[in-house]
Structure 1
C-alpha cells in the first residue's frame, strides 16, 4: 500500500484505480514466534521467580479457519524454592497449596521450567466482537520426591473469552485433579477482565486488568489441619496497570500489579502465599519487559 501511495503521488494514478487493488489474502497457515525477557515472571498476580528475571518464548500456529495451536516456555523457581528450608522447618513454594510441608533430608523437589501447551478456536462476529475457546496444559518437568501435603503442580484448564475492540473478558476453569499443586482443587477458576487501549498515534498502549482466583472451599485437612484455614484461603483478587511501547520492532513494557494474597492461615504458621524466604509472592510487584515477535 505504501508503494501504491508513492505511485499516486508521482505519476498521478487515479484514486479509483488505487482502490481496485485488493489486499493480500489471509494465508491458510501461519506460524509466528516470540521471545522476551522480564524483570520477574508474574502470573495472575503471583511471582513465579521470587522477584528474579525470566527468559520466555513461544511458537504459535494459526489456521485461516480460526483454529490454533501453540507452546510457550519460561524459567521459574517457585517449586524448587521449597528446598531452601531446613530439616523439619515449615517451608513453602511460590504457588498456592504447595506450602507448609516439612523439608525432608535426602529428598528434593525441583522444577525450573514452565512449559505450556494450548489449542483452541478464535473467531469474530458482528462489529469488532471476538470469541475464543480452548484448552491449556501447564507442564512442569522436574523432580518430585518430597510432595508432602501438596501435589504435583501440572495443571489443565479450559477457557473461554469474549472481546469487544480492546476489552476482553476471560474465564478459565481447572479440570485436572490438582490446580498448581493445591490438593482437592478440581474446578478452581479464574475470571479476568483486561483492557489493551492504544493511546492515539503515539505508539503507546495502556494495559488495565482485574482478575479473581477462586478455589473450592474443601477442607483439605491433609494440608490445613487444625490451622483454621481451608482452600478459600488461596482465593484472591489481582490488579495490573501498565504501559507498552513498540520501538524498532521490539515491544517494551512496564507494569505494576497487586494481589491481595494472604500470608498464612489463622494459626499464623501454616502458610498460604508466604514462600520459603518469608516473602508473600503476591502483593505489590513491578515488572519491566522487552519482547520481539517474528
Structure 2
C-alpha cells in the first residue's frame, strides 16, 4: 500500500486489482496495530492509467486497547508522469476502526516516484482523532535480486504538532523496515525486520497495548488477482 504508484504504464482502460494477505504482525509506521499478533487483510485498487486517477481501499483485522477490531482504509488520488522514470502524485486517505472508539482520521499527501524509489509526505490535522496535527514523511525502495527474489526497504519520520510537555519526551519518531521477498505469480512472500525509535505511542494518539515490542520480524503471504 505504501509504495502504490498509479502511473506505471499508460493504458486506455481501467484496471481493478485485489489481494488477500496474511501477516504475522501488522505494523503501521512502526507501531503494531495487531498487538504483536497475526492479522488478515483484504485490499482492492481501481486504476485509470490513461488519466492518472486511482482509488482503493483495505480491510485489516486489528487489536486495539486489547480489543479485536477491523481497520477500514480508503484512499484516492491523481498521478502525473513527468518523464518515463519520474512522476508525482497527490491524494487523500481516510482511516477508521470498528467499535466504540473509531480513532477515525483523514490525511492528505503528496509524493514523488523515480523508478522504484517512492517518497511521500502526509499531513493529518487530527491524527487518530487525538486532537492535534501530525506530519509523516516516508521513503520506499525495492530492487530485483535474481530470479523471483527482490529486496525492499522503508524509512519513515513522524512529527507531532502541539505541546508534549506532559509526556516529558520529544515530538519525533522514526521507523525502519527492510526485508526480502519472493514473487511467484499470483503469490508473494516477504520476510522483513522492523524497528521504531523516538517518542512513545501515547504521544501520537496510538491506542495503547500492553508489552508491544518496537522491534519485530514479520512474515507475510499474499495472493493477488
**1:204 is matched with which residue: 137, 143, 149?**
149
Q: Which residue of 1 aligns with 2:38?
A: 53
Structure with greater strand share of residues? 2
Q: Which has the higher helix share?
A: 1
**1:35-64 Cα deviation digits (max 9, x unpaired):** 110001001111111111100011111123
Please report how far the alpha carbon of residue 181 of structure 1 lies from its aligned counterpart in structure 2 after TM superposition: 3.9
Q: SS in structure 2 opposite 1:143?
A: coil
Per the TM alignment, residue 141 of structure 1 is displaced from its structure 2 partner at its CA by 2.2
After TM superposition, give the deviation of residue 123 of structure 1 in Å.
3.0
The counterpart of 1:174, out of the listed 102, 120, 124, is 124
Residue aligning to 2:94: 137
Q: Between Structure 1 and Structure 2, whose CA radius of gyration is higher?
A: 1
The answer for unaligned runs of 5 or more in structure 1 is 1-24, 82-109, 145-151
In the other structure, the counterpart of 2:54 is 68
- Pairwise CA distance, 1:162: 0.3
Whether contact under 8 Å (2:24, 2:39) holds in the other structure is yes
Provide the C-alpha distance between the structure 2 equivalents of 1:280 and 1:273, rounded to a whole number of angstroms: 12
Q: Secondary structure at the match of 1:180?
A: helix
1:211 CA displacement: 0.7
Deviation of the 1:271 alpha carbon: 11
Please tell me the root mean square deviation across aligned C-alpha atoms, in Å: 2.5
- Whole-Å separation in 1 of the counterparts to 2:176 and 2:18: 28
Partner Cα distance (1:274, 1:70) in 2 = 25
Shift of 1:275: 3.8
The question of 1:247 aligning with 2:195 is answered no
Q: Distance in 1 between matches of 2:201 and 2:84?
A: 47
Match of 2:22 among 37, 57, 66: 37
Contact 1:274 1:280 survives alignment (8 Å):
no
CA distance, structure 2, for counterparts of residue 204 and residue 111 of structure 1: 34
Name the CA distance, whole Å, in 2 between partners of 1:73 and 1:189. 24
The 4+ residue runs of structure 1 with deviation greater than 3 A are 261-265, 270-276
Alpha-carbon distance in 1 for matches of 2:25, 2:189: 14
Q: Which runs of 5+ in 2 are unaligned?
A: 1-9
TM-score normalised by length of structure 2: 0.86
Q: TM-score by structure 1 length? A: 0.67
Name the structure 2 match of 1:149.
Answer: none
Query: What's 1:189 paired with?
Result: 135
Using the TM superposition, give the Cα deviation of residue 228 of structure 1 relative to its aligned residue in structure 2, in angstroms.
3.5
